[in-house]
Amino acid sequence: MARLRSFRTPEEIKKMPISNVRDEYNKLAYDYERITENKILLCPCCNTWQAAEESFYMDRRYATNRYPICKRCLLKRVEQRQKDTDEPNETKESVQHVLQMMDKIYDDDFYNDCVKGALDGVNEKQRHSPFATYIVGIQSLPQWKGKTWKDSNFGDAAMSIDEEETRIIQKTVKAGRKRFGSGYTDDEYMLLENEYQDWITRYECNTKAQEEIFENLSILKLLKKKALVKGDSTRDLDKQQQDWLDAGKLKPKQNSTDALSDAQTMGTLLQKYEETRPLPEIDPELEDVDKIGLYIDAFFRGHTLKMLGLKNMFSNIYEKVMRKYTVTRPEYSEEEDSEAIFEKVFGAVDD
């Protein structure tokens, strides 16, 4: 939760050194900047300033891109608690009331799936709300995009949604809770598990040590994100991240030259291959077995030279090859016997 600094009274300011007054002014200016940039918002229900990205649901209808009531107060309404110590009593009616207020779609089948998922593997110390999973789902999955309260399904007619897709969110949250333990929100479990899966799909992960490296890198990303939202320094977190990258040999400078070959041009690769791994000399009996070189010399180089009217060895090769495919018209002198010509053209006539 973000906390704003309390103002100083005129008497306190008079007693402060000028350097301290300057520091207090810079701190207040920093808080003012975070407010004007909508990085922290005031919840009208609990009257507390909280980090926008961490404590408020996305809602494009508002200038801040966040629903004005914080997640904690919405959950308190869903669970019908007057005080924090009251026992939660989440019902479909209370969920529908809050969703209608937020103008979000209600789908009875999906909410029932969230209720079933919330009951899996939850102990008494970690209370899990189906409503929280439901909100994450309708804001993440593509089939809910653009849906509002008027598109709701109350169980009379099931919406045509693939069952596998409706369970993506709860499965991801459940996997993240199993991998990273308790103490995180559903949104944080989603980020942690998705980041972990992104690491193991890009890099080899066959040992427990590699799994631990990717888990720690995922946690560090979450911590850095939360620190940036609060305006805290991330220097120590950055150093830890570099240490884990170094331990897993994941830095770009630790990759071999061959692993970076995809980023090189074809000409650079050919030069490298010619200088470091040249082809051996070809045995004479294996040279141009399919006569590819002859075809190129004759029908490409030779033909081009023929069209240009140039003479060299390639044009001679072209002439030599083309003789096999050229038909010449027979010529006869007037003195030759016409009967002989007739037989050559039409064949001999049997008596």
The domain locations on the chain are 203-254, 291-326
Rounded to an integer, what distance in angstroms lies between the CA atom of residue 187 and that of residue 54? 9
pLDDT at 2: 52
Parallel/antiparallel/unpaired status of strands 48-51 and 40-43 = antiparallel
pLDDT at 103: 92
pLDDT (tens digit per residue) in 263-295:
567 777 777 777 776 667 776 766 776 778 888
Is the pTM higher than 0.95? The answer reads no
Contact 139, 57 (CB under 8 A): yes
Rounded to an integer, what distance in angstroms lies between the CA atom of residue 264 and that of residue 244? 28
pLDDT at 7: 61
Joined tokens for residue 257: 């030259």
Partners of 122 in the beta sheet? none
pLDDT at 126: 46
Which residue positions in the chain have pLDDT lower than 70? Answer: 1-10, 13-14, 25, 119-127, 156-166, 252-264, 277-279, 283, 285-286, 289, 330-342, 344, 348-351
pLDDT at 161: 45
Rounded to an integer, what distance in angstroms lies between the CA atom of residue 147 and that of residue 138? 9
Rounded to an integer, what distance in angstroms lies between the CA atom of residue 22 and that of residue 127? 46
pLDDT at 197: 92
